[in-house]
Structure 1
Amino acid sequence: MSFKFTMEPRVSFLSALLKDIYEGALQIPRFQRSLVWKRQQQRELLCSIFEGLPIGALLVWNTRLSNINTYDHIGPFLVEQTQPFPSNVYLMDGLQRLSTLYCMLLHPTEKISQKYTAESNPSDFLIYCDLSAENVENMFFFKDELDANELVRKNYMYLPLDLVYKSKELLRFQRLIPSHMEFLLDKCDAIVSAFKDYKIPVIPLESDDQTLVTKSFERINSRGTVMSEAHMLNALSYTEKFDLLTSLDKYSEKYLDSTSKWKDIDTEFILMLLKLKLGYEIYSKDTDKLAKSINNDTIADIFISIDKLAEFSANYLNIESPAAFPYRLQMLGIAQSFLNDPHSDPEKLSNWFYISAYTNSFGTTARNSQRALTDLQSYLSCGTLPWSLNQAPALLPLDGIQMNLGAARVKTLALAMAKKLNQAKLSITKNKDRRTIPVRPRVFQQAERRPGFYFLVGSSLIKNFDLTNMSQVEEQAHFITPELIAMYKAGDLNKFAKTREDLIFKWEQKNIITPAINSANFVIESLPHFD
């Protein structure tokens, strides 16, 4: 079966799609998340359907594969296959929309799952339509938003939305409407027709190629919710004893300090580390093979290594947050080292960190990134750092770069300046996230955005930052010389910046780069040697 994005979309009645879910013809794979929409989002969906507005196409995956684990419930309601079907059809995009409508319109109380009533009560999905509402925004109400006495006293005014597809119950409700209030009956008919006649475009995706489907799934955006490889992996690896997403939460809680920024490390990083542990390349999409090898012990090992990464970063690199790393793949390499050997040499890890940061090891291709990670493991084994990347290492000076605080070279600058301040025993400004931040003095606000105008301001200078009123220790810590002060007073700011950038870069070479190169026995002819 070929992989087709260009198949002709079909148009289905909403009622038919809900019936497919009810009978198990349309299944909800475990790479989808459960109901996460808030009430206002659900209400807006109902308003759109009543007004006949489009709510977006659905994407379904039609395949002969049967290794995809699916949910046996939507909210509090069971969903199960009532008969065999020739192929499996999975909902790829549209879960929040269809699950909202399934629970509110079908509301199949004969299929209540006792297992899930504690976390999702059927009554949470009881919706009433105020037939007297003057506009659609005030038409739909959850049961607990209405006065119970009002519901009993004026029951003819509030149409339960789950009667739309129940002809007999709907007829009984309509008979409650007083004969002199025909306008309520008209409104009732309009609501029922809107939902019964509503059509949704459905785009079918046919493929038995698990890898291609995983790639496509990662690129799907559904109402701002980005789907991920983790959800696909969860569907493929799920058993009664192992749920990947639950396991991630469990071991994050156990091993990562809840007060640190490492607690929020993203799932994509964890999966890349998982792939390295199991012998796959970091950008591999062999999700079905990966799923066969993961379990709770594997996930626990991953989080133990991240915990060691956090401890090492704070103690040896002065890094307290993943965001401070110049390259995220540097975190990956260090964490992999602790996976392979919990007692990895911190000096070697530090050398590799600085060399890879300053030589642009991760700034080119995915293949080079993988090679840089392999080089680290070779270095830890043999004591000499190789260079297997397909371009020569090159150091990027400060002169000419723009001050983008998220750029790798700017992060290495911030770390270098922090190291200099630490040597001078001056404290460093932290923002609310405890990240070291470059501070630009007011006098340079109108100047060109370049490194020479940036400072990491020690606590004694926070309130009154004045280049002409620094102590000798503060001047040395901030790379300020008498010549620079003279340039500043003369208003020659660009020369000031260029001169200071040269001073900082020379200090980086002497105190960070060269010691790391020498210690790692990193010898490449094209790499400059520094005095």
Structure 2
Amino acid sequence: MAVQVEEFNVKPEVLLLEQLLDEVRSGRLRVPRFQRPYVWRPDQMLDLFDSIERGYPIGSLLVWETSLQLPSLDQVAGIDIPPAPDGSIAYLLDGHQRLSTLFGALIHRPEPSTGSRDRHWWIYRMLGTTDPRELRFQHSGRSAPPANLLPMQAVLRTMDFLTYARRLARDPSTADDCDALVDEAEQFAQRIKSYKIPVVRLLGGDLPHAVEAFSRVNSGGRQISPDQMVSALTYRAETEETLTDRITAIRESIGDSGFGDIGSEPVFQTIVAVTGEDDVQGARWTALADRMSGDLDGIVKQAEIALHRAVRFLRYEVGVPLAWLVPYPQQIMLLAVFFHHQPDPDGAQLRALVRWFWSTSWSTVFVGGNGFQVRRALHYMRAFATDRAHLNLQGLYAQPLPDRFDTEDGRVRAFLLWELGHFGHRYGLDGEPIELIELLARSGPAAYRRIVTGVPSASSVANRIIMPTPPGVSVREALLDLPPRRLRTVVVSHAIPPVALARLVADDRNEFIQERTATLAGLEREFIQEIGAELAWELGRENGTIDT
């Protein structure tokens, strides 16, 4: 007998901010567990309150009201939420980051200790400033911040607000201006209390109806991500773990291996590819979820095993020490697909995969996540893994050394990866080897310091080296302060040739960068030829894309 699905309707409404928070505090508005975790940075939290004070819209929230029971979070922003009451429940589908920020900063909570991880929920509004450039909202790491900082958690509670007003009157730094500061605080509190947020409420229907509606709504400037959608669609009441939980667990297990976080995208796309789907970026998610529902545990387990094999290959065959250095996330997914179909490759296959990795890293094939290119690469990788074809590298044109140091650029990451392997032993100012991987794992791209400044070409990738220096001392100053013999040893280990060093000593900054650029570009080209990727360079030359 078919299950009767209640009628599906859409109800737009506008709620006061305080009403919205009351729904969360009562447990009636809940965050489903398939939502992504809270990830906002402190500056994003402050920007949200700045927008509210100025009366700017912060986007609508999308909620689904239903009598169905979904696994939901028992805490929001670290604050306990009571169990859902009887009757219909509203589940937040879009707006988790915004609502958690508002709830965490405005709802009363015990004062944390100095340095506590909960201190980021304590946001303050600065009173008494007339400079529009002054940052009105800020965090404070101190348990007793200055008296003119109004805690946001005192805004909605009358007793807390009165306590703060008495503090203004007692504190010597604010006592003389107490009346004006209290007036300013009251006006600000009224703006918060009267702020209205549009809410799109989906009534009735089933989970696929709600997710389909979510996929068509672009509130907050974005649509639901595919992994969230499939996680929701594959939810089953009999299991505690959602697909989002499983993806997080895989990321954590890979991160624990020392490789770092690979992100949710390649994990989700690997799971999709394991099902046999060709379009891992734009599949018909509802149909895919139906196929996955019967064996979600088995599919996820196969994807996890394949991803761990891909990561081992990257670390020990290619020499990629950390996840953030992988040029394109699609490479992780495609390698995982290979190891899913071919868990025990021979030496020739491994060498072909290494060549494929570098050739795709130097080219633009995965720039922007081109859907057609990814589908074609997936087709070739499956055929290669099942001995039906060789890896096809035709049309992969190697690009020249980038002009700018931008680690969001996959070609820059490819360069850094090559340089890391080619100059594996580098010396610091003390003449001792630098622990490169440890430093890169701790500092990320910030480990790469500019050598010279003050010239247009200072943003070049050839103007960066991994070189810790004392506070306030530039890399150039630190290098030139070394004894001559140690200076030569250090700069050679960082691929600074003698002619470039001479330019650095003479303070010919542009010429220094040009000399080092020429040296690095030549060495990188030799490496490309050595591993057997001449085809990519030749094709690039013929098409005018390679700087010879």
TM-score, length of structure 2 as denominator length: 0.58
Match of 1:299 in 2: 300
* 1:328 to partner: Cα distance: 1.8
Q: Indicate if the aligned counterparts of 2:13 and 2:198 stay in contact, CA closer than 8 A.
A: yes
Matched, 1:393 2:396: yes
Question: Quick check: 1:210–1:288 contact (8 Å CA) kept in 2?
Answer: no
Matches of 2:363 and 2:228 in 1, distance apart?
35
Total equivalences in the alignment: 418
Give the superposition deviation at 1:334.
Answer: 1.5
Within-5 A mapping of 1:85-164: 91-93=92-94, 96=99, 135=162
Counterpart position of 1:372: 377
Give the residue type in structure 2 aligned to 1:386: N
Other-structure match for 1:147: none
Taking a change above 3 Å as real, the CA distance of residues 405 and 265 of structure 1, as seen in their structure-2 partners, is closer
Residues 48-87 of structure 1 mapped to structure 2, 5 A cutoff = 59-60=61-62, 70-71=70-71, 75-81=81-87
Q: Structure 2: how far apart are the matches of 1:137 and 1:432?
A: 45
Query: Partner of 1:346 in structure 2?
Result: 350
Tell me: CA distance 1:57–1:203, structure 2 relative to 1, closer, same or farther (3 Å): farther
Deviation at 1:284, TM superposition (A): 2.0
CA apart distance, 1:408 = 2.0
Q: Tell me, yes or no, if structure 1 residue 213 matches structure 2 residue 210.
A: no
Q: 2:266 matched to 1:269?
A: yes
Q: CA deviation at 1:387?
A: 4.5
Distance across 1 between alignment mates of 2:502 and 2:72: 75
Q: Determine which of 392, 414, 417 is the counterpart of 1:415.
A: 417
Where does residue 246 of structure 2 map in the other structure?
247
Partners of 1:221 and 1:227 within 8 A in 2: no
Q: Are the counterparts in 2 of residues 58 and 202 from structure 1 also a CA contact under 8 Å?
A: yes
> Are the counterparts in 2 of residues 211 and 287 from structure 1 also a CA contact under 8 Å?
no
What secondary structure sits across from 2:307 in the alignment? helix
1:119-518 counterparts in 2 under 5 A?
Answer: 135=162, 201-204=198-201, 213-216=213-216, 220=220, 228-239=225-236, 240-241=238-239, 243-244=241-242, 245-250=244-249, 255-256=253-254, 258=256, 260-262=258-260, 264-280=261-277, 281-292=279-290, 293-294=292-293, 295-344=296-345, 345-364=349-368, 365-380=370-385, 381-382=387-388, 384-387=390-393, 392-398=395-401, 401-422=403-424, 429-430=436-437, 431=439, 433=441, 439-440=448-449, 442=451, 444-447=452-455, 448-449=457-458, 450-456=460-466, 465-466=479-480, 469=485, 477-513=493-529, 515-517=531-533
Give the aligned partner of residue 142 of structure 1: none
Structure 2 CA distance, aligned partners of 1:496 and 1:198? 56
Contact conserved, 1:57 with 1:201, CA < 8 A, in 2? yes
CA distance in 2, matches of 1:368, 1:67: 43
Whether the 8 Å contact between 2:362 and 2:411 is mirrored in structure 1 is: yes
Report if aligned partners of 1:252, 1:303 keep a CA contact under 8 Å in 2.
Answer: no
- Does the C-alpha gap of structure 1 residues 496 and 525 become closer, same or farther in structure 2, counting only changes over 3 Å? closer
Pick the aligned partner of 2:539 from 519, 526, 530: 526
Cross-structure match for 2:133 = none
What amino acid does structure 1 have at the position aligned with 2:371?
Answer: A
Q: Tell me the secondary structure at the aligned position of residue 367 of structure 2.
A: coil
Q: Distance in 1 between matches of 2:101 and 2:450?
A: 54
% identical equivalent positions:
19
Q: Partners of 2:398 and 2:209 in 1: how far apart? A: 43
1:10 paired residue among 13, 18, 36: 13
Are the structure 2 counterparts of residues 482 and 265 from structure 1 closer, same or farther at C-alpha, using a change threshold of 3 Å?
closer
2:230, 2:286 within 8 Å by CA — same for their partners in 1? yes
Alignment partners' CA distance in 2, 1:276 and 1:286: 13
Mapped contact 2:423–2:494 kept (Cα < 8 A)? yes
Q: Which amino acid aligns with 1:300?
A: K
1:92 is paired with a residue of what secondary structure?
strand
CA contact (8 A) 1:375 1:385 kept: yes
Could you list the runs of 5+ residues in structure 1 that have no partner in the other structure?
38-44, 46-50, 83-87, 105-128, 140-193
Q: Secondary structure at the match of 1:265?
A: coil
TM-score scaled by length of structure 1: 0.60
What SS does the aligned partner of 2:333 have? helix
Per-residue deviation, 1:323: 0.5
Matched to 1:247, the amino acid is R
Q: Supply the distance in 2 between the matched residues of 1:214 and 1:331 (Cα, whole angstroms).
A: 29
Q: 1:232 to 1:346 in 2, by over 3 A?
A: same
C-alpha displacement of 1:277: 1.3
Cα deviation for residue 232 of structure 1 reads 3.4
Deviation at 1:320, TM superposition (A): 2.1
Check whether the contact 2:64–2:210 (CA below 8 A) recurs between aligned residues.
no
How far is the alpha carbon of 1:433 from its aligned partner?
1.9
User: In 1, are the aligned partners of 2:58 and 2:220 still within 8 Å (CA)?
Assistant: no
The one-letter amino acid paired with 2:375 is Q
Instruction: Answer whether contact 1:237 1:291 (CA < 8 A) is retained.
Output: yes
Tell whether the 8 Å contact from 2:64 to 2:92 is kept in structure 1 after alignment: no
Backbone CA RMSD of aligned residues: 5.6
Larger Cα-atom Rg: 1
Task: Name the CA distance, whole Å, in 2 between partners of 1:438 and 1:35.
Answer: 27
